[in-house]
Amino acid sequence: MPTTRNPGIDSAEEIAASIVICTYRRPELLAACLDSLIGQQVGGASPGSAHEILVIDNSALADGRPAVECRQTAFALRGVPLRYVLEERPGVSFARNRGVAEAAGALIAFIDDDERACEGWLERLLEPFHRLGDAVDIVAGEVEPDFGALSRPDWLADDMLHFFSCRWGWDSESRFLHEKEWFGEGNCAFRKRLMAGRAFPSDLGRKGDGLLTNEGIIFMEMRSAGAATYYVPAATVSHLIHPDRLNRRWLMRRMFYQGVSNRLTQRRYGLEEQRWDFNVNMAKLADLDVESLEGESLRAVIRLYYQLGYAAASGMN
What is the model's pLDDT at position 316? 73
3 band by pLDDT with thresholds 50, 70 and 90: low
Whether residues 188 and 147 share a domain: the answer is yes
Name the domain boundary from 246, 261, 278.
246
Judgement on whether residues 237 and 266 belong to the same structural domain of the protein:
no
pLDDT of residue 48: 56
238 shares a domain with 257: no
Do 39 and 173 lie in a common domain? yes
Q: Domain with 175 in it: what CATH number?
A: 3.90.550.10
Q: How many domains does the chain have?
A: 2
Please indicate, yes or no, whether residues 237 and 302 belong to a single structural domain of this protein.
no
Residues 146 and 231 placed together within one structural domain of the fold:
yes
For the beta carbon of residue 8, count every other beta carbon within 10 angstroms: 10
Domain end among 246, 273, 296 = 246
| H or E element, residue 229 | strand 229-240
Tens of pLDDT, residue by residue over 273-306, are 887 776 776 767 777 888 999 999 999 999 999 9
Q: Quick one: which H or E segment has residue 96? A: helix 92-102
Burial class (CB in 10 A: 0-12, 13-18, 19+), 272: exposed
Q: Whole-number mean pLDDT of the chain?
A: 91
303 plus 155 within the same structural domain: no
- Pairing mode, if any, of strands 175-176 and 107-111? unpaired
Q: Domain limits at 14?
A: 3-246
pLDDT in tens, 6-30: 544 444 468 999 999 999 999 999 9
Are 95 and 242 found together in one domain? yes
Q: Are residues 8 and 113 in the same domain?
A: yes
For residues 224 and 310, membership in a common domain is answered with no
33 and 17 both lie in a single domain: yes
**Is 293 in the same domain as 170?**
no
Across the range 70-95, mean pLDDT stands at: 96
Contact between residue 300 and residue 251 where contact means Cβ atoms under 8 Å apart: no
Out of 210, 225, 246, pick the residue that ends a domain: 246
Highest mean pLDDT among 1-15, 37-51, 88-102: 88-102
pTM: 0.90
* Beta carbons of 248 and 155 less than 8 angstroms apart: yes
Q: What are the φ/ψ torsions at residue 177 (nearest 5 degrees)? A: -80, 145
